Amino acid sequence: MTQHLVDPRAPRDLTAFIAELPKAELHVHHVGSASPRIVSELAARHPDSKVPTDPAALVDYFTFTDFAHFIEVYLSVVDLIRTPEDVRLLTYEVARDLARQQVRYAELTITPFSSTRRGIDERAFMDAIEDARKAAESEFGTVLRWCFDIPGEAGLEAAEETTRLATDDRLRPEGLVSFGLGGPEVGVPRPQFKPYFDRAIAAGLHSVPHAGETTGPETVWDALTHLRAERIGHGTSSAQDPKLLAHLAEHRIALEVCPTSNIATRAVRTLDEHPIKEFVEAGVVVTINSDDPPMFGTDLDNEYAVAARLLGLDERGLAELAKNAVEVSFLDAAGKARIKGEIDTYTAGWLDR
Ligand SMILES: O=C(O)c1cccc(C(=O)CC[C@H]2O[C@@H](n3cnc4c(=O)[nH]cnc43)[C@H](O)[C@@H]2O)c1
Ligand SMILES: [Zn+2]
């Protein structure tokens, strides 16, 4: 919501190109995607909350002093989601915002533990997200898939509950494709989650933990070694370790880069210091994502504009970035071919104007 984070230096013509470019979003959080309108509506329903009811006041509320402050604010918004109908509405509105940006496919990170521990019935929770997923696909043409993440700081109880919800055949939603680990990294060692990731992977889920967002490259190594990560959420500190960069490149383990998020949570000081260019130069597959867009005053289009500036990309370069995301997504082969074809057709048409 911190509007000043929107990059004013994106060239106008690329902004127009990006706006209509078909895209995939691989790293975006469910609650962190609630629009100011939805957040203020929910806050008005719950006067006991400290979340502002005036959307304009959210700009200040969503200005973070550090990562811990971000998580504290994030949890105050989580506290506003109290019924299955809140969950359904939030999910549907998030899909509408994605569709407006020509997002054809999104993997949305959901933290079911946060909802079930706040008293939302687990069956009703699954039905709510699935109902919204199906409505989004038929009404907006946006395909949604879920990543269920463990809120690491909540400990092994949260890990057990998340794993149960993700692997119990009677509960597991049809749209679930992957298993993650989020929240603070400091004091939350990745190896302790190995048994839970082992169970999720055995149940057919892909491994996509956050790592190297707020700690060093050793956390990324831990995510690879112990959690068998197939993609890394953020992975920012990988730039400090050339061997790690070479490993990520060789094994095509993509980084889900979220530049504006890293500035908003103060994980990186300025956009110009963001290591995205080092990743690309090392041959690492980079995808561009928005993380918690309204909280960070951004959206996926703005993240592509930021990437264009930091990487010096033109339309073809942006189309390649968009195709990277499709390629390393967990969509089926036919779906990937369809969206990549759309990207190529759109780009060729734009350049032929
Ligand atoms: O729900 C609870 O009761 C609870 C108790 C203790 C700790 C937690 C969390 O740590 C929740 C964190 C939550 O944050 C999400 N998130 C959103 N954006 C990011 C990000 O950029 N980096 C890491 N985590 C992020 C994540 O999905 C976690 O579930 C909750
Ligand atoms: Zn994230």
Provide mean pLDDT across the span 67-81: 97
Q: Does residue 6 register a pLDDT over 60? A: no
CA 231/CA 252 separation, integer angstroms: 9
Instruction: Report pLDDT for 164.
Output: 98
Q: For residue 31, which ligand has an atom nearest its CA?
A: 1
Band (353; pLDDT cuts 50, 70, 90): very high
Residue nearest to atom 21 of ligand 1 (CA): 291
Instruction: Report pLDDT for 4.
Output: 43
For the segment 175-225, what is each residue's pLDDT rounded down to a tens digit?
999 999 999 999 999 999 999 999 999 999 999 999 999 999 999 999 999
CA 84/CA 120 separation, integer angstroms: 7
Lowest mean pLDDT, pick from 2-16, 81-95, 184-198: 2-16
Atom of ligand 1 nearest to the CA of 214: 22
Instruction: Report pLDDT for 118.
Output: 97
Q: Which residue bears the tokens 């959210």?
A: 58
11-351, superfamily in CATH? Metal-dependent hydrolases (3.20.20.140)
Instruction: Give 114 Cα–ligand 1 centroid separation in angstroms.
Output: 9
Residue 220 gets which letter from DSSP?
H
Extract the tokens encoding 38: 């939805």
Instruction: Give 162 Cα–ligand 1 centroid separation in angstroms.
Output: 13
Band (9; pLDDT cuts 50, 70, 90): low
CA 156/CA 145 separation, integer angstroms: 25
Can you spell out the DSSP letters for 67-92?
HHHHHHHHHHHHTT--SHHHHHHHHH
Share of the chain above pLDDT 90, in %: 96
Share of the chain above pLDDT 70, in %: 97
Instruction: Report pLDDT for 13.
Output: 80
274 lines ligand 1 (CB under 6 A): no
Residue 316 CB partners (closer than 8 Å, separation 6+): 347, 351
Give all strands (DSSP E) within the chain, no chain letters: 23-29, 103-110, 143-151, 176-182, 206-207, 210-211, 231-234, 254-257, 286-288
Sheet holding 206-207, edge to edge: 23-29, 103-110, 143-151, 176-182, 206-207
CA 92/CA 134 separation, integer angstroms: 9
Question: Of 93, 130, 185, 213, which is the active-site residue?
Answer: 213
Instruction: Give 102 Cα–ligand 1 centroid separation in angstroms.
Output: 27
Q: Does residue 258 register a pLDDT over 60? A: yes
Q: Does residue 11 register a pLDDT over 70? A: no
For the segment 317-330, what is each residue's pLDDT rounded down to a tens digit?
999 999 999 999 99
Q: Does residue 349 register a pLDDT over 90? A: yes
213 is catalytic: yes
109 lines ligand 1 (CB under 6 A): yes
End-to-end CA distance of the chain: 35
Instruction: Give 115 Cα–ligand 1 centroid separation in angstroms.
Output: 12
Is the backbone of residue 266 left (phi > 0), alpha (psi -120 to 50) or beta?
Answer: left
User: What number of other Cβ atoms are within 10 A of residue 107's Cβ?
Assistant: 27
Q: For residue 219, which ligand has an atom nearest its CA?
A: 1
Q: Does residue 1 register a pLDDT over 60? A: no
292 lines ligand 1 (CB under 6 A): yes
Provide mean pLDDT across the span 122-151: 98
Pocket test for ligand 1, best of 62, 70, 71, 81 (most atoms within 8 A of CB): 71
CA distances from 12 to 15, 235, 349 (A): 5, 30, 18
Average pLDDT of the residues of the chain = 96
Sheet holding 210-211, edge to edge: 210-211, 231-234, 254-257, 286-288
CA 315/CA 179 separation, integer angstroms: 33
Instruction: Report pLDDT for 89.
Output: 96
CA-wise closest residue to 127 among 161, 182, 170, 159: 170
Instruction: Report pLDDT for 8.
Output: 58
